Amino acid sequence: MSRRYHSKSRLGCSNCKKRRIKCDETKPACDRCKSACLDCVYACPPVSPGESSTPSIAATILSEQGGTDANHNPAFITNDHQISNGKILSSREQPQRNGSGPAASSSLSPVNMRHMELLAHFIAHTSLILGPAHTSTRMALATTLSTPYLINQVLALASLHLSHLVPAKSKAYALEAASLQADSLSSFADSNVSVSRENCIPMLLFAALLGIYTLADAVLSFQGGVSKFLDDYIRYLDVHRGARAVVEPFWEFLDQTDLAPFLNIASRSGSTASHPDVAAVCSNLATVVERVPLDADAAMACREAIEHLRAILDNIWQAQTNPHAHAGSAYNTIYSWPILLSAKFTALLAKRVPQALVILAHYAVVLHERREVWVVGDAGSWLIKGISGVLGKEWEEWLIWPNNALLHAPTHGKTVFLKTENGDGVGQL
């Protein structure tokens, strides 16, 4: 039997081309897309392979991949993208798009209404994970709109958020998010100029959003294995820590911008007096560093991580006891510790060094206190349980505080996690 011939048009919409059917070329939406309830997208005049319809944006990731197993790339990185020697590498091949879900997007496609819907969702809803809408948010959005790799990262995060909000379309939104994420990484890898004062803000935002996406993806794809989630979270820490490495030469400049509150929450001077309960928790953590001898660099990395954690715990205490505290502090505490970690510390975590895992378990209490934030969810609980399982009874006494935080945490409201006067190990914030 002869094969039926399907006439096609080179000027048809993207969906009809993918389905290999004739498009009637009706605009703004063809009849077939209307019938199938698909977003109809017409491409610009064809772009030759290897060329982009957007200007090339130069960027280089300067992050170190200290200690992370090179065979375990973050979930968002496809076979066509990997981190090697501190740079994102990419082939020109784009991931396969799914035409049956929300409209697939490409860095080679013109802006369409689907992009606008995702951007509107990011501005109104997803961006709240960065803190309340204020000057820094507006400044960040202005930067985003002029930077292709950053706008794709924004759209990817918005679509991933929708996969959480709309369970009935979760799979379709997740596929769309992965596609946009691949476009973002491809755009970033294709750019090649050095970090400068002019582009350090979009680069910092890109690296930070990349980390947030990695965390959210790990949380939303959790299948019940706390040990695997511990692996995923440690890889996330290495990605998010790279946000600072990207712009390290311009950190002082960024400290003078509207992004300063986001950067400084965990980098407070060590001379600042802590709340007594915070001081007690961190003093106990300091002793665990001495329990089993570490080399000088490892011990220093652990002490620095504890100092940053102390600043965050103090900030949480102040925010919950001061009605005038800045609302954004609840979100900033989630991201500031990972950004300030050293490559040495994340290497210790990857090697399952007990002292580093104990410190991470204490930070997980902060995550559990922020569990109402969708990118966090039950990550704190999973980490504490996973670390307790890895370390076993030998280190049980050093994990009393984190486990008590889980035991006494209310179903709703804030976590109980600071030592009380009666010595039961936790208190109500």
Q: What is the pLDDT of residues 214-254, one digit of tens each?
A: 999 999 999 989 999 999 999 999 888 887 787 888 888 88
Q: What is the pLDDT of residues 188-222, one digit of tens each?
A: 888 776 788 888 888 888 888 999 999 999 999 99
Are residue 257 and residue 277 in the same domain, yes or no? no
Are residue 149 and residue 251 in the same domain, yes or no? yes
Highest mean pLDDT among 30-34, 257-261, 307-311, 352-356: 352-356
DSSP annotation of 170 reads H
Determine the residue type at 100. Answer: S
pLDDT at 92: 29
Across-strand partners of 67? none
Q: Could you list the residue range(s) of the whole structural domain that residue 104 is in?
A: 81-261
Residue 76 three-state SS: coil
Q: Is residue 287 part of a domain?
A: yes
pLDDT band at 325 (very low <50, low <70, confident <90, very high): low
Q: Is residue 159 part of a domain?
A: yes
Q: Is residue 341 part of a domain?
A: yes
- Say if residue 82's pLDDT is above 50: no
Are residue 398 and residue 276 in the same domain, yes or no? yes
List phi, psi (to 5°) of 407: -65, -40
Q: Is residue 311 part of a domain?
A: yes
Are residue 212 and residue 301 in the same domain, yes or no? no
- Say if residue 310's pLDDT is above 60: yes
Are residue 251 and residue 279 in the same domain, yes or no? no
- Say if residue 63's pLDDT is above 50: no
Q: Is residue 53 part of a domain?
A: no
pLDDT at 25: 81
Q: 347, 322, 320, 343: which is closest to 333 by C-alpha?
A: 320
Compare 108 and 273 and report the one with higher pLDDT: 273
Q: What is the pLDDT of residues 400-409, one digit of tens each?
A: 999 998 887 6
Are residue 283 and residue 393 in the same domain, yes or no? yes
Q: Which of 242, 261, 280 is the last residue of a domain?
A: 261
Q: Out of 42-56, 173-187, 333-347, which region has the weakest mean confidence (pLDDT)?
A: 42-56
Are residue 229 and residue 311 in the same domain, yes or no? no
Q: Which of 261, 284, 301 is the last residue of a domain?
A: 261
Are residue 178 and residue 204 in the same domain, yes or no? yes
Question: 86: alpha, beta or left, given left = phi > 0 and alpha = psi -120 to 50?
Answer: left
Are residue 324 and residue 216 in the same domain, yes or no? no
Q: What is the pLDDT of residues 125-138, one digit of tens each?
A: 888 887 654 555 56
What's the CA gap between 343 and 351, in Å, rounded? 12
pLDDT at 251: 84
Residue 164 three-state SS: helix
- Say if residue 332's pLDDT is above 50: yes
Are residue 238 and residue 122 in the same domain, yes or no? yes
pLDDT band at 262 (very low <50, low <70, confident <90, very high): low
What's the CA gap between 93 and 329, in Å, rounded? 41
Q: Is residue 384 part of a domain?
A: yes
What's the CA gap between 422 and 429, in Å, rounded? 15
pLDDT at 269: 42
- Say if residue 80's pLDDT is above 60: no
Are residue 210 and residue 340 in the same domain, yes or no? no
pLDDT band at 144 (very low <50, low <70, confident <90, very high): confident
What's the CA gap between 214 and 157, in Å, rounded? 10
SS (H, E, C) 336-397: HHHHHCCHHHHHHHHCCCHHHHHHHHHHHHHHHHCCCCCCCCCHHHHHHHHHHHHHCHHHHH
pLDDT at 422: 38
What's the CA gap between 22 and 141, in Å, rounded? 39
pLDDT at 179: 94
Are residue 254 and residue 146 in the same domain, yes or no? yes
Domain count of the fold of the chain: 2
Q: Is residue 60 part of a domain?
A: no
List phi, psi (to 5°) of 7: -75, 140
Q: Is residue 28 part of a domain?
A: no
- The arithmetic mean of pLDDT across residues 366-391, rounded, is 94
- Say if residue 90's pLDDT is above 60: no
